Amino acid sequence: MDFAETAGRIIAGERRALARAITLVESRRSDHRAQAQDLLSALREGAGQRQALRIGMSGTPGVGKSSFIESFGLMLTGQGLKVAVLAVDPSSARSGGSILGDKTRMERLSRDRNAFIRPSPSQTELGGVARRTREAVTLCEAAGFDVILIETVGVGQSETTVAEMSDLFILLMAPAGGDELQGVKRGIMEIADMILVNKADGALKDVATRTCADYAGALHLMRKRAYDPAGFPKATTVSAWEGNGLQEAWDDMESLAAWRKSEGHWARRRADQARYWFEEEVRLALLARLHEDSQISARMADLGDAVAAGQVTVAEASQKIMKLL
Ligand SMILES: Nc1nc2c(ncn2[C@@H]2O[C@H](COP(=O)(O)OP(=O)(O)OP(=O)(O)O)[C@@H](O)[C@H]2O)c(=O)[nH]1
Ligand SMILES: [Mg+2]
């Protein structure tokens, strides 16, 4: 593989080269892994300056994520922007890749030549999916996409993972009664830059407006974050079906991004994220080494038994493994 040439194709916006490169970073084969690393290095040199707006998005099943991405994505491509859609879905091994099945809900967007939709790699552990998606984000950015939407259904830690690879984090919500509002995990509210209450149309419009006001109130009570301008984080209503509020939501995202850029928060966040992923990668590599080494993994099993039987303390046992490393 000629890395400089492949990198050149990706940078020139060749979709096939991009799709292949994503397949490469998704591969678990060690020779593919080595190639992926070389390609990413070649791209860093060739396209290091390109930056997309990375938008993380989460919402419970059925809230309308796919419908929103279809309408919102089409609105953006209609304005001449190039839009990529990726997903972090640790449960996709079970469901067979949710975005893939969802392509029916994103039918028009998936046929749009300014859009690129990629289903989540099927993997059970979040660590593996996260790395692959993060690298796919880098590839799409190098390919010149203006906006990258990273979707997750929010299983376990996946929202935090997506937020760590996004510039903005959007929470999509359904119109709901007051009880349901309490069920929103506080940690999720804390990472949200915007809450969009979807389905603000027809019979649901009034309840969506009330739900939105409740979320706005809840956001207002939260601790002020240094990287927010006045008025953020904010809650607004949208309708993926009718398109209401989509332009306003985009205007908000753009002005928030512009403010963060001018105040230095954008660059700082990306730098922190790079550091975070570096440390995560080292952690994963260390764990992988533990499992690959048959002597160490046998010792792990023995010490696991000993810990379970109360013959040795957790601290003592882990020290023994660290010494073997
Ligand atoms: N009234 C109304 N219904 C909507 C809107 N957007 C989505 N829906 C409906 O809500 C249901 C779920 O929409 P999806 O877009 O599949 O939701 P999702 O969040 O992608 O769901 P999962 O992929 O299962 O997590 C479908 O029946 C949609 O037609 C909207 O703006 N208004
Ligand atoms: Mg969906």
Q: Which tokens is 183 given?
A: 């069920």
Predicted local confidence at residue 290, as pLDDT: 86
Helix (H) or strand (E) holding 308: helix 294-308
* pTM for the whole structure: 0.91
197 within ligand 1 shell (Cβ under 6 A): no
151 within ligand 1 shell (Cβ under 6 A): no
70 within ligand 1 shell (Cβ under 6 A): no
Nearest atom within ligand 1 for CA of residue 69: 15
105 within ligand 1 shell (Cβ under 6 A): yes
Predicted local confidence at residue 45, as pLDDT: 81
Contact 22/136 with Cβ under 8 angstroms?
yes
Residues in the chain: 325
Say how far apart CA 323 and CA 244 lie, in whole Å.
60
**Where does residue 231 fall: left (phi above 0), alpha (psi -120 to 50 degrees), or beta otherwise?**
left
Predicted local confidence at residue 187, as pLDDT: 81
- Sheet bearing 234-237, strands edge to edge: 115-117, 83-88, 147-152, 53-58, 168-173, 194-197, 234-237
62 within ligand 1 shell (Cβ under 6 A): yes
Predicted local confidence at residue 105, as pLDDT: 74
- Please name the residues in contact with 236: beta carbons below 8 A apart, sequence gap of 6 or more: 194, 195, 196, 197, 212, 245, 248, 249, 252
Name the DSSP class of 58: E
Q: 86 φ, ψ to 5°?
A: -125, 170
Q: Which tokens is 50 given?
A: 């390109």
- Superfamily of segment(s) 50-263: P-loop containing nucleotide triphosphate hydrolases (3.40.50.300)
Predicted local confidence at residue 123, as pLDDT: 62
Tell me how crowded residue 207 is: count the other CB atoms within 10 A of its CB: 16
Give the distance, in angstroms, between the CA of residue 248 and the centroid of all CA atoms in the same chain.
22
3-state DSSP of 248-270: HHHHHHHHHHHHHHHCCHHHHHH
83 within ligand 1 shell (Cβ under 6 A): no
Predicted local confidence at residue 287, as pLDDT: 86
Residues in the 5 Å CB sphere of ion ligand 2: 65-66, 102
Domain ranges of the chain: 1-46, 50-263, 275-324
Nearest CA to 91 among 151, 147, 135?
A: 151
Give the distance, in angstroms, between the CA of residue 301 and the centroid of all CA atoms in the same chain.
34
Q: Which tokens is 158 given?
A: 């996946």
- Ligand 2 centroid–CA 103 distance in Å is 9
Predicted local confidence at residue 80, as pLDDT: 97
Which residue of 58, 67, 117 sits with most ligand 1 atoms within 8 Å of its CB, as the best mutation to test the pocket?
A: 67
Number of H helices, E strands in the chain: 16, 7
The domain made up of 1-46 is a member of CATH 1.20.5.170: yes
Nearest CA to 244 among 172, 195, 196?
A: 196
Predicted local confidence at residue 96, as pLDDT: 45
Q: For residue 241, which ligand has an atom nearest its CA? A: 1
- Cβ-count burial 36-54 (b if 16+ within 10 Å, e if not): beebbebbeebbeebebbb
pLDDT in tens, the chain (325 residues): 788 899 999 999 999 999 999 999 988 888 998 999 999 999 988 766 789 999 999 998 889 999 999 999 999 999 999 999 998 876 644 444 455 455 667 889 999 999 999 877 666 666 677 888 999 999 999 999 999 999 988 777 888 999 999 999 999 999 986 666 666 777 888 899 999 999 999 999 999 999 999 999 989 988 889 999 999 999 999 999 999 999 999 999 999 999 999 999 999 999 999 999 999 989 988 888 888 889 999 999 999 999 999 999 999 999 999 898 8
